[in-house]
Amino acid sequence: MRLHGTHIKLTERSLYSVDVKMSVELDVFVGNTTIMDKEVYQLWLNGYTVNDAVKVRIEGGVMEECEASAEVLLSDTMDQYRTFQMCERLLHHPAKLANQLLFQIPPDRQAMLIERYYAFDDSFVREVLGKKLSKGTKKDLDDVSIKTGITLKSCRRQFDNFKRVFKVVEELKGPLVENIRQHFLLPDQLARDYAAIVFFANHRFETGKKKLQYLTFQDFAFCAGQLINNWTVGAVDNMMEDMDVDLDKEFLQDLKDLKILITDKDLLDQHKNLVCTALRGKTNVFNEMEANFKNLSRGLVNIAAKLINAKDVRDFFIDLVEKFIEPCRSDKLTSIDVNLYLTHYTNSAHILDTFKHHAVWTRYMGVIKSCILRMYHD
């Protein structure tokens, strides 16, 4: 027979030895319905080696529960790992999982597999958020792994997921979140998170600076959602001709017009008076607000005016922190104060007689307000 030429025994081939007299060379279990253990799946996703996974399982007490031996556990874990590896190819294109024929997996299981495969650690995503999803970044993942305590394998999976989603939606038209949900069959919240990640990666927002460290991924994801829903082309134009990924260039251009609020001395004073009148008696920190008004207003309007430059877009969050959040915090404003201030600041501008850019102002300040409020941790 062709395969039976000379055979030399290779001991390292064996999967595991039961004892000195016998070793298992091959060990497979295939069910008509593919059996997948959620716990083992999680261990696999977390990048545990088979042996580590077996240890974790033993500690978890599954052996006592089911009258199993370590050997049985090892065999099961290896088998499951193999199944997951075979499925991984399909998980890269979740839509395929539903109409592939190789594994018969019930729909609820499929959803679980996909959701967990695309789930990520917040601590990991904070490290790569806003970074270019390039090979260079991938190379640095071992540092991320050490820093976060997440296995390199898991880091790589998460990174590759980001990159894969990015690549797919980059080419697509239409609403970002919907595209992600449809292409990767993710639940709504996860799809939104991915939209944020893609959006951040696309604009390369700076999120790693020390001043931004206090912000969680969910803070950024919220802000990204605001930007996507209000500042992109898709936000105003339902024709779905363009993507949600890019900010509305026209809008950014228009933002420059807001500069009048700080360049026109009369307008600036008028705005300040209106805001102060409205705030008087409603807060303990009125004096600080009054004193800081011009400074804060300049900060916000300057951010708006600069957004036309891609480079300045990257600094959007650091600018918000430096130009607005930090000054407010040093004045000990509570988030209620900030909310009050921003509300009147936004509304008062509409009363100014010479200010004409109401639409742009509303579109800009709506997002700024909700972002700042989210980022303003007391």
Partner 1 sequence: MPGKLKAKIVAGRHLPVMDRASDLTDAFVEVKFGNTTFKTDVYPKSLNPQWNSEWFKFEVDDEDLQDEPLQITVLDHDTYSANDAIGKVYIDIDPLLCSEAATVISGWLPIYDTIHGIRGEINVLVKVDLFNDLNRFRQSSCGVKFFCTTSIPRCYRAVMVHGFVEELVVNEDPEYQWIDRIRTPRASNEARQRLIFLMSGELQRKIGLKVLEMGGNAVVGYLQCFDLEGESGLVVRAIGTACTLEKISTFPATATHPNNSSPSKDMKEPGFGEEAPGVPLSSGPPTPLRAQTFSSFSPSKSYSRQSSSSDTELSLTPKTGMGSGGSAGKEAGPLKALLRQQTQSALEQREYPFFTLTAFPPGFLLHVGGVVSARSVKLLDRIHNPDEPETRDAWWEEIRQEIKSHAKALGCHAVVGYSESTSICEEVCILSASGTAAVLSSRFMQDGPLDTEHRFEEVVSPGCGFCHIPYDELNIPFPAQLTYCYCCRRYKVPDVLFTTIDLPTEANVTGKGCLIQARLCRTKKKAQGEGNATAISSLLPFLEYELHTQLMNKLKLRGMNALFGLRIQISVGETMLLGLASATGVYLTALPSPGGIQIAGKTPSDITYEQHISTMQKKINDTIDKNKELYEINPPEVVEEIIGSPIPEPRQRSRLFRSHSESSDEVSELDLSHGKKDAFVLEIDDTDAVEDIHALLTDSPTPAGFYSCNTEIMPGIQNWTSAIQMFTSVRVFRLNANLTNQGLNKIFSDLCENLLKSLYFKLRSMVPCCLCHLNFTVAIPEDELIQVAVTAVAMSFDKEQPLENGKQSGEKTLIKAITENDEQLQFNLELNAETSSHNPLSSPKGLSEVGSHLSARDRCSSWIEQLKLKAHTIRRGSVKTTSSLEKASPLPEGRSRSLRSNRSYSGSSVAVVKMTPLSFIPGAKIIKYLGIINMFFIRETSSLREEGGVSGFLHTFIAEVFAMVRAHVAALGGNAVVSYSMKECVFMENPNKNQAQCLINVSGDAVIFVRESELESTSVQTQSATTHTSNGGEGT
Contacts of 317 (CB under 8 A, 6+ apart): 205, 206, 207, 212, 215, 220, 223, 375
Q: How far is the CB of 57 from partner 1 (least distance, A)?
A: 11
Please list every residue from 72 through 101 that binds partner 1, using CB under 8 A.
72-73, 75-76, 78-79, 82-83, 85-86, 96, 99-101
CA dist 221 and 313 (Å) reads: 16
Residues contacting partner 1: total by CB under 8 A: 57
Q: How far apart are the two ends of the chain, measured CA to CA in Å?
A: 76
Please list every residue from 30 through 59 that binds partner 1, using CB under 8 A.
30-35
Length of the chain: 378
Phi/psi at 149 (nearest 5 deg)? 80, 10
* Contact flags string 102-141 toward partner 1, x per CB under 8 A: xxx-xx----------------------------------
Select 77 or 158, whichever has its Cβ closest to partner 1.
77
- Among 26, 59, 64, 354, which residue interacts with partner 1 (rule: CB under 8 A)? 26
Structure tokens at 234: 């898709």
In 92-175, alpha helices (H): 94-99, 107-118, 122-128, 135-139, 141-148, 152-170
CA dist 358 and 319 (Å) reads: 23
User: Of the listed pieces 5-13, 222-230, 317-325, 369-377, which binds partner 1 according to CB under 8 A?
Assistant: 5-13
Phi/psi at 78 (nearest 5 deg)? -60, -40
Integer angstrom CA distances of residue 62 from 39, 299, 314: 11, 59, 49
User: Of the listed pieces 28-36, 194-202, 346-354, 360-368, which binds partner 1 according to CB under 8 A?
Assistant: 28-36
- Among 39, 51, 60, 66, which residue interacts with partner 1 (rule: CB under 8 A)? 66
Q: How far is the CB of 95 from partner 1 (least distance, A)?
A: 11
68 binds partner 1 (CB under 8 A): yes
61 binds partner 1 (CB under 8 A): no
267 binds partner 1 (CB under 8 A): no
The strand pairing partners of 16, in sequence order, are: 24
Contacts with partner 1, residue ranges (CB under 8 A): 1-11, 13-15, 17-18, 20-35, 65-69, 71-73, 75-76, 78-79, 82-83, 85-86, 96, 99-104, 106-107
